Structure formats: structure tokens, C-alpha cells
Structure 1
Amino acid sequence: MTQINDSQRSDGIQALVNDSDFLKELLQSFLQEHLESEITEFLQAAPYERAEKRKGYRNGYKPRMLRTRVGTLNLLVPKDRDGCFQTGLFERYQRSEKALVLALQQMYLQGVSTRKVTAITERLCGTEFSKSQVSALCGRLDTELEAWRNRQLSGQYPYLIVDAQYHKVREDHRIISKGVLTVVGISREGYREVLAVQCAPTENESTWATVFRKLIDRGLKGVQLVISDDHKGLCNAIERYFQDCQWQRCQVHYLRNLLSTAPKKLSKILADQLRDIFNAPDRETAHNRVKKMVCLYAQKSPKVAQYLENTAEEVLACFNFPEEHRRRIRTTNCLERLHEEIRRRTRVVRIFPNQNSCLRLVSALAAEHHDTWVSGYRYLNMEPLAHENITIAQNLVTPKPLTLNPILQNF
């Protein structure tokens, strides 16, 4: 018999993992078994089992589709004779699917649907719906999502990641961009959570202040680091509501901003040099590399040198935290990926019929990801942070976030 070596076995496993049909069949089989175990537990008896504690009998199945990341699954949901059994399996997906369908229905009813939207609406929910039905569905879903957005927060959130995204919304016979302000927290246990989702006419200090004030009222505490881009209004609100915290400017945004001040021919070498700073083993090494860059570009590109001198401190706060955490707390990438996934799902709507419709769908999608995060893998091992007990007072170098003081004032 031919021996299968470890490499061949590994290649075979990898091929299966990359096979979407295989993953789809595997997930469908697993979820079908889950449904069977749910009704067995509900009835307190397996099929054909004679049991004194039995609470009812099975009564066939009803087909149900479930859209997942590996494709649409065709499942058979068990029924009982009394019609009392309800599975909890679909709850995670129901909010976002309802919100999407409602957005399409509202577009259809307002007479702004395209043939594509009409076709999708018919396929998802049929054409037999009225304004009163849509209004009732909106009310129920909005109540559920509002409760989720306003839930009390318990525990501590050492890291906050903050950003905004924009969606097209119809308002007063115009199409305008509405901001959706989002805050993701990393808990003391190391899990990501969506803490805030709020619509705003624009992104400024006032709107961000409202978001932060509500978070604090809901019980937000234990924040040590806030990660964001350098939007002036946002930074002012951070400084106002998180005075004892450090601020980390997103290194990805910073790189783009710096390159915009430089001649195009310097872009590649500048990017490489900046990454050397970002990947430094410690804060002192990062500072030394910044100093060298400033000296190097003082004559070659004064704008680059000045920009570095004035702002480099803003991207180095992550060096005050455990090395194991730095790659994930130095950018807003975690939140950017969430926004990309939300945009992918909202693309079918294109232009929301109103602000409530926008907030409803974005909230539902954010809640779906929140549920996945808190029930999934641990994003960060927080033991190093607890061990080091990092505070601003304990750091030898205390940054002054949200200011433009030069870092080379002691030269």
C-alpha cells in the first residue's frame, strides 16, 4: 500500500478547506444535525423513542434557506404537532435579512425601485405587502435594534477603535451622504464588541461627543487607548471625554497622509522607512529612526521632514502597550474590515429611502458581527496588559495626544 506522507495529507486537507462546495456541505450537515438535536431536546425524546418525559411528537419539516459566508444553505426545520417548536439557529441572521428586505420594500413603495430592486424584492418577500405591513415590521425590528444599541455595558474596555462610514440617503427630495459613527471595543477578556452605531448628518466634534457621552452613560469604563484617524472634530471629542487615555493615530492613514506631502519618486522609500519605524522593537528605537528620517529629509524634502517632526509622536502610542498587542492596536483595520463587509451587504440598496432605513440595516449587520465576535475566538490575549498594568503615569515617555508639539524639541 502506498504511504501518504505528511505533505500530501496537508495538501489534501488544504484543498478541502479551499473547496467552497465542501465547506458548504459540511456546514449544512452540521447545522441540520443541530436542528435535530434542538427538537429532540425540546420534545425530550428522540424519534420513535418511548419516553415518559416526552412533551410532544414530530410533524415533518419545513424548508428554510440560510445565507452564510460559504453560500446559501437549504435546511429542513423540524416541526412538532402543536406548532410550538422554534429554533434559535436563525436568530443571528434574521435581523440583517429583515433590515435588508425592509429597505428594499420601502424603496419599492416610494416608487424609486429599479427593475433590479423589484426583482430582488419579489424573490425575497413577494409583492404582496402594504405600507402598514412594512411599518409594523419596521417598528418591531427598530425596537429590537434600539435596545441593542442602548444596552448597558459591563466590564472594562482597554482599547477603543473609532471610525465613520458614509451611505447615500434620500432626504427632502435630495440624495445626501449620511455618516454612520461606529465604535468597537476590545474587552478586558480580549473579545471585540460593537459598542456604538449612530447616524449623524456630519462627522464633527459635536456628533462624536454625543456618541462618547452616551457610551459613558451606558457604563463604558477602563479605556486606556483610543485608536482613530486624525479627524480634527473626532480628536477634540476624544481629548474631551477620554482625558486620562492615550491616543493612537492610525498608522495606515498616517502613511497615506505623509506620502501626499512628498514627491512621487520618494513614495516607495518613504513607505519602507516609515514601516521600519512602525515595526521597531521598542519606543526608543522608533524615536531614533524618526530622528534619522527628519535629518535625512531636512534638505531633500522639507515638507516631509516638518510633517514627521510635528506628528510622528501621534503614531507611537502603541509602544506603551504589550508588544503582543501592537499590530492590532496601531491601526483601525479591525473596524475598516467591518465597514467593508457592511458596504458589501448594503450595495444592493445603493440609496437608502431614509435615514432610519440606513441605521436599521447597518445596525443589524453590526449586531450580526458583534454576535459572531463575542461567541468566537479571543481577539487578543489580555494577560500581558494585566501583567504590565500599563498606565500613563507608569510610562517613562508620556505622549501628548492630539497636539502638534515637535518631538525633536531637545535637539
Structure 2
Amino acid sequence: MTDFNKECLNALLNKEKFDEFMRTQLEEGLDQLLESELTAFLGYDPYAREGWNSGNSRNGSYFRQVKTQFGPIKVQVPRDRKGEFHQHTLPAYGQHTVPLESTVIQLYSHGVTTREISDLIEKMYGSYYSAGTVSNISKQVASQVESYHQRQLSDKFFCVYLDATYIPLRRDTYQREAVYVAVGIKPNGHKEIIDYRIAPVENIEIWGEMISNFKERGLEQVELFLSDGFVGIKDMLKQYYPKSKFQRCLVHVMRNIKGKVRVSDRKEALDDFKQVHKQSSLKEAETVLHAFYDKYDSKYSSMIKNLQKIEEDLLVFYQSPKQIRPSIYSTNMIESINNMIKRKTKPKSEFPTEESLDNFLGVQAIGYNDRNANRTHKGFGQVTDTLESYFD
């Protein structure tokens, strides 16, 4: 066992000794790295003859304090006589301004309160940032999110997915509240989170306000809306986009079927219904759907009557090119976004204010849109010209 290993093992028995041991090792290691860096810059070792009359030489050193997770250490930074040497081992001087502000913004955007952030920053860096200072920094996030909500929208989307998810929020009391999300795909296949809204529950009035806002911000034409069939949503959409079509999410329909048949019949019934979206033409899909009616009507007549009432909304996606049908028979795409948001909220049991939740969601939406700005959704790139022809 080396002397280093022995000292390390002995120090591990006492945290204070271990921290002191690591500080000493870090100081020695950084000093050696900095000296090696200057040697590489000058091109000769200390006291080497080739350094004589070279035009530049070592010129002592100065001490610099560096904060580490084991406490502050004092590092000896060497200098050259001409002052041309700039070391890269240590971060540049500063009071953590850029990285600290970045940390504050990231924490705030994830729903952490300004008080919690200031306490955390003090523990992490040993320098106190008041809740007011943190609040001023975090206003950068709020400004970005406000701009996101007010930005001008594209004048047309081929399809727009609508869905709501629920996230814990505290007002006077804790409660899971609805987050209304709209995701669109343009005729060129580029997708984006168009916008979102926060409200205590899902209702048609909020959806109406959201869709009306889209119109005001420049969205003139939508070929197809997709939703789970929330009561009244189809009629509401027609008020603002009378030429648009409406597709009911077939995955939600299958979930309803699952809840309305016996456990012993579920697998067979769901497998049969899945065949509806796997056909090559509308006519074939209608044949499969009517065969489903005939097979289960005697056992589950109520379920079949409900399906027949919404039949005109089940097969609309067959009117679109076959290359994109796998993407437009359900709201799976928007549900994957909702699941991503929920995964990121897990570390946070609840959001303390609507503003903190709004900022969290805004950062997720802006990030998603930036990542997908130049990506074409699967299948859409093959039929861009065809999709453009759907619009005036």
C-alpha cells in the first residue's frame, strides 16, 4: 500500500481530517499542474540551460484562493516575466457571476422558490445571495416565458394535438391542477409546443380561450385537430377554424373499450379494435370497424352504440397521406411530451406558486422547440408538397 493510500484511509476515519487531507492534495496537485503548464508555454524546464537568454523566463508567483467542495485552498500561480502566460487549469476570476446566475435560473425554472435557492446557493458557494437578488436574476426566466406566450405563431399547422395533464400546485392548499397543452406540426414537418395554460380543472371555456388566442397571434389555418374527445371540444374548434377536421384519439377510445368489457374479453377486443388503424385504405378500415360492431354488439351493446355515435371522428386520419397516418390517429405524441414534463416534476412534490409552475413549463416548451426547430417529424418530409396543397 502506498503512503498516499495509507494517509487516505486514516483520514477517512474522520471527516475533518479527510477534508484537510483532500485540500492538501488538491493544493499540491494544482501547483504541479500550473507549473507544468508554464513549462509547456516557455518551452524549457526550470533552471534548464536552454532557458538562458530565451527572451522570457519565470518571474515568481502569486497566491490565489479557490473554493472547493472540501473548503478553500490556496494555490500558487506562476508568472512569466513578459506577462504573456495565461493559465487554463483554474477557472477565470470572478465572483461566480455567470455560472451562479445560470444555476439560479435553472433552479428557478424548475419550480424552486427564491428563498430555497438563496439558502442552497449559500450552502454551495459560501456566499450569501438574498431572496431579492435571486428574484432579480430569475426575472430573466419570467421574461423569456412571457415572450414565449406572446410570440407570433405560424399562419398554418397541418395538425394540432390537444391534451391536458395534471401537475401538483399549491395555492392556498395543495391540489393537482390541469395543464392544457397544444402541440402542432407544420406542413414542412417541423413540430413545436404552440402554448399551454394552467387552470384548476379542465373545461371547455379554457380551451376556447386558448384556441381564440392562437387565432389572435396569427394561426389562420389548421387542417386537423386531434383530441381525446373532451365534451364540446369539436364544436368549439369549429367556431374558430370551421374548415378544420377533427380526429378523436383512437388510443383513448381503446382505453374506454378496456373499461367497458370484461377482463376475460379485454385482450381480444383491444386486438380487434387495433386493426382499425392498421388498414391501407378508408374503405378497409370501415369494414374492420363494422365487423367489430357486429362481433361485440350482442355482449356490449351500450359500448357499440357509443362508438357508432362518434364514428365520423374515428377514421378521419385516413384522408391524409399514408406516410403520416401513424402519427395522426392518436395523441401519443403530445402524451409523450406530458410524460417528459411529469418525469421532470418528480423531484418537486409540488409547485409553490402558479408563476413557478409557469416558468418551469415555459423552459420545457422553449427547450423542446429549440431542439426540434429544424427536425422533420417522421413521414412528413416525404409528403410536404402534398400537405401544402391542403391550404389556401
Q: Determine if the TM-score, normalized by the shorter chain, exceeds 0.5.
A: yes
Amino acid of the residue matched to residue 188 of structure 1? P
Check whether the contact 1:277–1:289 (CA below 8 A) recurs between aligned residues: yes
1:391 Cα offset (Å): 5.1
Per-residue CA distance 1:234-271 (angstroms, 9 max, x = gap) = 33432322221111111111100122122222111111
5 Å-filtered alignment, 1:331-410, equals 331-384=330-383, 386-387=385-386
- Could you say if the C-alpha distance between residues 388 and 344 of structure 1 is closer, same or farther in structure 2, counting changes exceeding 3 Å? closer
Amino acid of the residue matched to residue 340 of structure 2? E
Check whether the contact 2:189–2:376 (CA below 8 A) recurs between aligned residues: no
Per-residue CA distance 1:21-72 (angstroms, 9 max, x = gap) = xxxxxxxxxxxxxxxxxxxxxxxxxx99xxxxxxxx9955588xxxxxxxxx
* Structure 2 match to 1:179: 178
- Could you say if the C-alpha distance between residues 287 and 354 of structure 1 is closer, same or farther in structure 2, counting changes exceeding 3 Å? same
* Structure 1 match to 2:113: 105
- Could you say if the C-alpha distance between residues 371 and 109 of structure 1 is closer, same or farther in structure 2, counting changes exceeding 3 Å? closer
- Could you say if the C-alpha distance between residues 349 and 218 of structure 1 is closer, same or farther in structure 2, counting changes exceeding 3 Å? same
CA distance in structure 2 between the aligned counterparts of 1:256 and 1:266, rounded to whole angstroms: 14
SS of the aligned residue for 1:197 comes to strand
Amino acid of the residue matched to residue 227 of structure 1? L
- Could you say if the C-alpha distance between residues 265 and 142 of structure 1 is closer, same or farther in structure 2, counting changes exceeding 3 Å? same
1:109 Cα offset (Å): 8.0
* Structure 1 match to 2:193: 194
CA distance in structure 1 between the aligned counterparts of 2:237 and 2:211, rounded to whole angstroms: 8
Per-residue CA distance 1:165-216 (angstroms, 9 max, x = gap) = 11111112x1122222111111122111111122123211111111111111
Per-residue CA distance 1:88-135 (angstroms, 9 max, x = gap) = xxx9x989724346x32347389xxxxxxx7x7777777833231232
Amino acid of the residue matched to residue 307 of structure 1? N
Check whether the contact 1:96–1:368 (CA below 8 A) recurs between aligned residues: no
The unaligned stretches of length 5 or more in structure 1 are 1-46, 49-56, 64-75, 111-117, 394-411
SS of the aligned residue for 1:231 comes to coil
* Structure 1 match to 2:324: 325
- Could you say if the C-alpha distance between residues 216 and 390 of structure 1 is closer, same or farther in structure 2, counting changes exceeding 3 Å? same
Amino acid of the residue matched to residue 113 of structure 2? Q
Amino acid of the residue matched to residue 357 of structure 1? S
Check whether the contact 1:100–1:361 (CA below 8 A) recurs between aligned residues: yes
1:163 Cα offset (Å): 1.1
1:164 Cα offset (Å): 1.3
* Structure 1 match to 2:136: 136
Amino acid of the residue matched to residue 311 of structure 2? A
CA distance in structure 1 between the aligned counterparts of 2:292 and 2:306, rounded to whole angstroms: 11
SS of the aligned residue for 1:157 comes to strand
1:160 corresponds to 2:163:
no
CA distance in structure 2 between the aligned counterparts of 1:305 and 1:163, rounded to whole angstroms: 25
1:311 Cα offset (Å): 2.3
Check whether the contact 1:99–1:361 (CA below 8 A) recurs between aligned residues: yes
SS of the aligned residue for 1:351 comes to coil
SS of the aligned residue for 1:300 comes to coil
5 Å-filtered alignment, 1:48-87, equals 59-61=86-88
SS of the aligned residue for 1:180 comes to strand
- Could you say if the C-alpha distance between residues 62 and 280 of structure 1 is closer, same or farther in structure 2, counting changes exceeding 3 Å? farther
* Structure 1 match to 2:33: none
- Could you say if the C-alpha distance between residues 296 and 60 of structure 1 is closer, same or farther in structure 2, counting changes exceeding 3 Å? same
Amino acid of the residue matched to residue 323 of structure 2? E
- Could you say if the C-alpha distance between residues 129 and 248 of structure 1 is closer, same or farther in structure 2, counting changes exceeding 3 Å? same
CA distance in structure 2 between the aligned counterparts of 1:309 and 1:145, rounded to whole angstroms: 43
TM-score normalised by L of structure 2: 0.69
CA distance in structure 2 between the aligned counterparts of 1:232 and 1:332, rounded to whole angstroms: 16
Per-residue CA distance 1:291-318 (angstroms, 9 max, x = gap) = 1221222223212322332223322110
* Structure 1 match to 2:291: 292
Greater Rg, structure 1 or structure 2? 2
- Could you say if the C-alpha distance between residues 140 and 261 of structure 1 is closer, same or farther in structure 2, counting changes exceeding 3 Å? same
CA distance in structure 1 between the aligned counterparts of 2:268 and 2:390, rounded to whole angstroms: 35
- Could you say if the C-alpha distance between residues 233 and 131 of structure 1 is closer, same or farther in structure 2, counting changes exceeding 3 Å? farther
1:170 corresponds to 2:170:
yes
CA distance in structure 1 between the aligned counterparts of 2:135 and 2:232, rounded to whole angstroms: 36
Cα RMSD after superposing both structures = 3.5
SS of the aligned residue for 2:143 comes to helix
1:256 corresponds to 2:255:
yes
CA distance in structure 1 between the aligned counterparts of 2:124 and 2:197, rounded to whole angstroms: 27
- Could you say if the C-alpha distance between residues 127 and 239 of structure 1 is closer, same or farther in structure 2, counting changes exceeding 3 Å? farther
Amino acid of the residue matched to residue 272 of structure 2? Q
- Could you say if the C-alpha distance between residues 125 and 251 of structure 1 is closer, same or farther in structure 2, counting changes exceeding 3 Å? farther
* Structure 2 match to 1:146: 146
1:138 Cα offset (Å): 3.2
1:279 corresponds to 2:275:
no
1:384 Cα offset (Å): 2.5
CA distance in structure 1 between the aligned counterparts of 2:267 and 2:85, rounded to whole angstroms: 66
